[in-house]
Amino acid sequence: MKEDLYDDLYLEEKEEKTDFKAILFKYAIHWPWFLACTLLCMAGAWLYLCYTPSVYNISASVIIKDNDKNSKASSGMADLEDLGFYSSINNFDNEMEILQSRTLIKKVVEELDLYISYATKSSFHDIELYKSSPVKVWITPEEAQKLPAPARLHLTLQPGNKLNVKLRIGEEEYNKQFDKLLELMDIVDEGYFEDYDKQSLLDGAADGLLSGLGDPYTFYYTPEEYAKLWEDDEGEYAGVGIQISTSYLTGICTISRVFDNGPAHEAGVRKGDILYKVEDLYVNSSTINDAVDIMRGTPGTDVHVTFLRGTEEMAYTLTRANINVNRIDSMMLTDEIGYIYLYDFAGDCAEKFETTVNKMVENGTKGLIIDLRDNPGGWVNDAQSIADIFLDKGTLCYLQYKNGERYYYRTKDGKVEIQLVILVNENSASSSEILTGALRDRANATVVGKKTYGKGIVQSVVPLSDGSGMQITVAQYYTPNGYAVHKQGITPDVEVDGDNGMYELGDLTDAQLAKALEVMQEKLAEKK
């Protein structure tokens, strides 16, 4: 009985029915996941199709024409083929071998530049280009074979037509930057039809680059010009003995000073004459530097120079000579009134100016007329040193740079007590205006003459590595009271017309000087 029971329990099968509705409900509640996976797969497929380069299969058939067995030329070969001594199949095999040969494939690769591939960056991967790249990479197949690994170029075009090139060959990486100037030089170097002076090309390129600023005060010095710049500053040079004032508005170059006993002085050239032509070069603001270079040279040699005086044209053959450039002249106009003519701000002008003023004060001078007419400016530091004679500690002027930063030129304690009158005209510029503005704002100087030039910008002379240099406008300056001189000029307190005549030092037939003396006498009378 136990056994029967055991068998019943062991052998009993329970029939169970499958509930499909329950199973469906079990998975249906997760339908958002099924939908999301479906959409994700569809998006992935779409992206794959969009960004995968298209692959085209091209098939072609090559017909290899066999010789006609019935032709006379091949009748003998046909007979041999019929006898089993020759088979034309060999011809087909040979042609197929040629088509599949490494040599032919290499020629195809070289002809189509298939050993070079172009690609552009994309969001997911690089998109390969074929003969549609704006950049052409050229390398010989022989050189390509010698590469230890594929050469990968990464090109980045930056503002200003600058091209950055990164080359990676295996683990090695190289970087180089190209710009338009270098590109032009490379083209000239490779393609120009005859030999040329590379240094002249570089000088011309540098000059043209700076001229593109449109600023007449920013320009390039060749090594020779840069050396002459410092020769001028030393106060001696070989030339014809004239100082030129250039108007960048009219282009006219006017003689602002004729040096005593120089070639131009002996020929009768006067202050106010217009420099018209040097040799065959017509002179204006664009050619003045070249004209100056021509007029300078070896002492004892001749140069042909043409001037205009009104409508009269005057041509001279001037013999170059060593010119000693005196920066200042001085004299006493009366027992109490001194007079200093300051021609420019360069060399040792500040030291000589201070020495002259100290001697005048020791001799009882009460008033000083400083003549800055036709003074084109020069070094700001010289203007600072001269202003320091008359001003206590404070601001001479301040420069404002491109980034908004300000730099203050300041004077020190200790001044000479003396009444001041400043003479200026339309050719008084730059450092002349700095000194005039500071002395009027802080030393109660009276300004007499005509409105100044209005060059309220400051240049810096920068040496370059090859001995050349450049002058570049770096800032605009303001008077201590915040007045912007640039393109405005300084309007005199007492305006007097001048005739730019050639007067002897202290000649009181000079209307502007005579008026300055009158103003000074009035100031001294008020002081008493």
Q: Is 430 tagged catalytic?
A: yes
- pLDDT of 73 above 60: no
Per-residue pLDDT reduced to its tens digit, 409-449: 999 887 888 999 999 999 899 999 999 999 999 999 999 99
Q: What is residue 55's predicted lDDT score, i.e. its pLDDT?
A: 67
pLDDT at 9 over 50: no
pLDDT band with cut points at 50, 70 and 90 for residue 131: low
Query: Per residue in 185-200, pLDDT tens?
Result: 778 888 888 888 888 8
pLDDT category, 10, cuts 50, 70, 90?
very low
Q: Are 477 and 430 contacting, i.e. CB atoms less than 8 angstroms apart?
A: no
Q: Read off the pLDDT of each residue in 316-345 and give the average, rounded to a whole number.
A: 93
Q: DSSP letter for 211, please.
A: H
Q: Is 142's pLDDT higher than 90?
A: no
Mean of the pLDDT values across residues 373-392?
A: 91
Which pair of tokens denotes residue 31? 């339908």
User: Which tokens hold the place of 396?
Assistant: 């001479």
Tokens 């569809």, residue? 42
How high is the mean pLDDT of the chain?
A: 82
pLDDT digits (tens, 9 = 90+) for 339-365: 999 999 988 899 999 999 999 999 999
Helices 198-211 and 180-191: crossing angle, nearest 10°? 150
Please write the tens of the pLDDT for every residue from 276-314: 999 999 999 888 888 998 998 889 999 999 999 988 999
Q: Which 8-state DSSP code applies to residue 82?
A: H
Integer Cα distance of 337 and 103 in angstroms = 101
User: What's the CA gap between 355 and 366, in Å, rounded?
Assistant: 16
Question: Is the separation of the CB atoms in 424 and 492 below 8 Å?
Answer: yes
Q: Is 285 a catalytic residue?
A: no
Average pLDDT over residues 364-381: 93
Angle, CA of 510, 235 and 216, to the nearest 5°: 75
Q: 216 and 376 in contact (C-beta within 8 Å)?
A: no
Hey, what's the torsion of the CAs at 40, 43, 48, 51, to 10 degrees? Answer: -140
Contacts of 278 (CB under 8 A, 6+ apart): 291, 294, 295, 303, 304, 305, 306
pLDDT score at 72:
45
pLDDT at 340: 97
Cα–Cα nearest to 520, from 399, 323, 367, 373 = 367
List the catalytic residue out of 271, 366, 450, 455: 455
Structure confidence by residue, pLDDT tens digits, 26-46: 777 777 887 888 888 888 888
User: What does the pLDDT read at residue 1?
Assistant: 43
Residue 49 pLDDT greater than 80, yes or no: no
From residue 12, alpha-carbon distances to 3, 69, 363 in Å are: 14, 89, 145
| pLDDT of amino acid 512 | 95
| Residue 251 confidence (pLDDT) | 84
pLDDT at 2 over 70: no
Higher pLDDT pick, 62 / 224: 224
pLDDT at 53 over 90: no
Confidence tier at 451 by pLDDT (50, 70, 90): very high
Strands 162-169 and 457-463 come out as unpaired
Tell me if 428 sits within 8 A of 451, measured CB to CB.
no
Rounded average pLDDT over 493-498? 93
Q: Note the pLDDT of residue 493.
A: 96
Structural domains of the chain, ranges and CATH numbers in brackets: 75-108 (no CATH), 118-178 (no CATH), 236-324 (2.30.42.10), 328-527 (3.90.226.10)
The more confident residue out of 176 and 83 is: 176
Tell me what the mean pLDDT of segment 105-110 comes to: 78
Q: pLDDT exceeding 70 applies to what percent of the chain?
A: 80
Q: Which helix (H) or strand (E) holds 303?
A: strand 302-309
DSSP SS3 for 202: helix
Catalytic residue among 245, 256, 385, 430: 430
Is 87 exposed, middle or buried (CB count within 10 Å of its CB: 0-12, 13-18, 19+)?
exposed
- The predicted model scores a pTM of 0.59
Give the tokens for residue 137. Answer: 């990479």
Which pLDDT tens digit goes with each residue over 208-235? 888 888 888 898 888 888 887 776 555 6
**Of 414 and 13, the one with more pLDDT:** 414
Beta pairing, strands 494-495 & 446-449: parallel
